Each structure stands twice: as structure tokens, then as C-alpha cells.
């Protein structure tokens, strides 16, 4: 009997050291971790609405958005589905036009366009301006295209790149960035977020002034040629990535991000695809 306590203790120690193997059951998926707080989701919904259509969501829209976002605990696919729902709204197109109008035309609006068209029409009725009729009609036609941009966006006959080209090809943009050099510099700074090299500036000026020159390895000899070449370069697509990161993430995109998202836009030709990718990022959603 003297050895019973010691034997009991030994048995307990042996039992405590016994090895147990984990058992894995195929197809046993744990339930989703419902840890994303409602404040994060609400902020994301409000921010996306303001940035993409220029207003806060109404109560019904907030509830619909939540029903999408909580399906798989605020997953990336859920966020992309939510962004797609906003991009499908008619208000999105008007907001895109307004963002560009404010960014590049110092907030000139439809009333300003109509007023300037009235001036041009009035000049075309005065014989003393006959020597300038071609120039006046040229300016008028460019403003008409700008005026029609929003409606053509609605109709699907104009895309984001086409609209931006018109934003840089009108009477108001020329007045804001007066002179050939200022015009060339402004296009690089506004759309590529960099200053042109000496060669780019010299050749750009030559081309815009109607003389043959090469820019981005392409020949042209007019302002129209310059804009067509400019907005069809990889630099343009990368510039739009820089724009979204600066405006909505408040930072510069990294070289890797510029290359990746620039290709997302360029390969599809659809600006919405670029927005969907960036506006569904964890960073934009407030997850990091």
C-alpha cells in the first residue's frame, strides 16, 4: 500500500503525455467569420456612393448594399458586385462628366457652353467677321461636341477616353491653358501627372502648331493628331491609374500598381473595369 500513491501518479503522468492525432474531415468548411463591423461597411457604402455618383445613398440603397456586402463577410467579390451596382446607375455617367468638367475646365458648365455658343452664332451673322468664319465654326463645332458629351455617354456612343479628349479639345481648355506650350504642358500634367521631356515638349509644340513631328514614336502634324496620339498611349492608361489613386486613395500608386491597373484598363478599354478594381480594394474599403 505504500507504493499506491506513487503508482497512481505515474499512471496519470503517462496518460497526460499520450499523443492524440488531429482528425480532418474532407469538405468540412468552417462558417464565415462575421467580424467586419457595421461601421466599416456603412462608411464604405457612403464613400463609394459619393465618389462614384456624387451623393450619399438613401436608406433603401444602403440596405440593398449591405445585403450584397454581407453575403460572404465583405469579401472582394461582394465589394466588386456592390461597385458594379453603383456603376450601373444613370447618375454615375453624369457624375463622371462633372468630375472631369471640374478637374479640367475649372467648373465651366452647360450654361457657360450655351453662352459661348450664342457668342459664336452672333459673330457668324456679322459680315465683318467673314474672314474668321472658318475659325469661328471650328470653335463652335468643338463646343457642340463638348456639350453633347454627357448625352453620348448615356447613349454609349462615347467612352471615358473620348470624353477626356474633348475636355482637352475645346475653347475653354484653350483659354485656361493659353498658348501652344502651355497646352502641351497641361496635357502631360493633367492626364499623365508628369512634365514632358524637352523632346516631348518641342515635338508636341511643333505638331500642335500644324507641322510634322514625332511624339510617342508616332508622326503627326496637327492638334487633332497630337490628341489622338496622346490618348492612345500606355502613358494615358497609366495616368488614369495615378489619377484615381491620388484623388480617392490620397497617395501615389506604386510602379507595380501603375503597371497592373494600367493594363486592366488598357486590355479591356473599359474605364469601369479600372474603377471596379480600385474601388473594391481592401485599402479603399477601410480594411487596412
- Residue-wise pLDDT tens digits, 160-196: 999 999 999 999 999 999 999 999 999 999 999 999 9
Same domain, 81 and 126: no
CA 18 to chain centre: 60
Domain boundary among 144, 176, 208: 176
Residue 170 in any domain: the answer is yes
Residue 66 in any domain: the answer is yes
Residue 181 in any domain: the answer is no
Same domain, 82 and 145: no
Residue 260 in any domain: the answer is no
Same domain, 112 and 85: no
Domain boundary among 69, 91, 113: 91
Same domain, 156 and 128: yes
- Residue-wise pLDDT tens digits, 145-165: 999 999 999 999 999 999 999
Question: What pLDDT, on the 0 to 100 scale, is given for residue 18?
Answer: 45
Q: Which of 96, 73, 82 is nearest to 47 (CA)?
A: 82
Residue 150 in any domain: the answer is yes
The total of structural domains in the chain comes to: 2
Domain boundary among 176, 193, 224: 176
User: What range does the domain containing 159 cover?
Assistant: 104-176
Same domain, 164 and 139: yes
Question: What pLDDT, on the 0 to 100 scale, is given for residue 30?
Answer: 45
Same domain, 84 and 135: no
Sole residue written with cell 461582394: 78
- 87: cell is 456603376
Residue 120 in any domain: the answer is yes
Same domain, 141 and 162: yes
Residue 109 in any domain: the answer is yes
Amino acid at each position: 500500500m505504500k507504493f499506491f500513491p506513487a503508482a497512481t501518479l505515474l499512471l496519470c503522468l503517462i496518460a497526460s503525455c499520450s499523443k492524440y492525432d488531429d482528425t480532418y474531415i474532407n469538405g468540412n468548411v468552417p462558417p464565415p467569420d462575421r467580424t467586419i463591423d457595421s461601421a466599416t461597411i456603412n462608411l464604405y457604402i457612403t464613400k463609394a456612393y459619393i465618389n462614384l455618383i456624387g451623393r450619399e445613398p438613401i436608406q433603401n440603397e444602403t440596405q440593398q448594399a449591405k445585403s450584397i456586402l454581407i453575403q460572404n463577410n465583405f469579401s472582394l467579390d461582394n465589394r466588386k458586385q456592390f461597385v458594379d451596382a453603383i456603376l450601373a446607375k444613370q447618375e454615375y455617367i453624369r457624375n463622371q462628366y462633372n468630375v472631369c468638367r471640374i478637374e479640367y475646365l475649372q467648373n465651366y458648365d452647360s450654361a457657360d457652353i450655351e453662352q459661348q455658343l450664342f457668342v459664336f452664332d452672333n459673330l457668324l451673322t456679322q459680315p465683318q467677321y467673314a474672314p474668321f468664319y472658318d475659325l469661328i465654326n471650328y470653335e463652335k463645332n468643338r463646343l457642340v461636341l463638348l456639350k453633347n458629351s454627357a448625352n453620348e455617354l448615356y447613349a454609349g456612343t462615347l467612352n471615358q477616353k473620348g470624353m477626356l479628349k474633348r475636355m482637352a479639345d475645346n475653347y475653354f481648355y484653350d483659354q485656361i491653358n493659353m498658348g501652344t506650350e502651355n497646352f502641351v504642358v497641361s496635357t502631360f500634367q493633367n492626364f499623365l501627372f508628369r512634365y514632358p521631356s524637352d523632346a516631348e515638349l518641342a515635338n508636341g509644340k511643333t505638331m500642335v502648331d500644324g507641322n510634322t513631328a514625332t511624339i510617342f514614336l508616332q508622326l503627326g502634324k496637327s492638334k487633332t493628331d497630337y490628341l489622338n496620339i496622346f490618348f492612345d498611349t500606355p502613358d494615358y492608361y497609366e495616368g488614369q491609374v495615378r489619377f484615381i489613386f491620388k484623388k480617392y486613395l490620397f497617395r501615389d500608386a506604386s510602379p507595380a500598381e501603375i503597371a497592373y491597373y494600367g493594363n486592366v484598363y488598357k486590355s479591356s478599354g473599359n474605364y469601369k473595369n479600372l474603377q471596379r478594381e480600385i474601388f473594391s480594394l481592401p485599402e479603399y474599403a477601410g480594411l487596412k
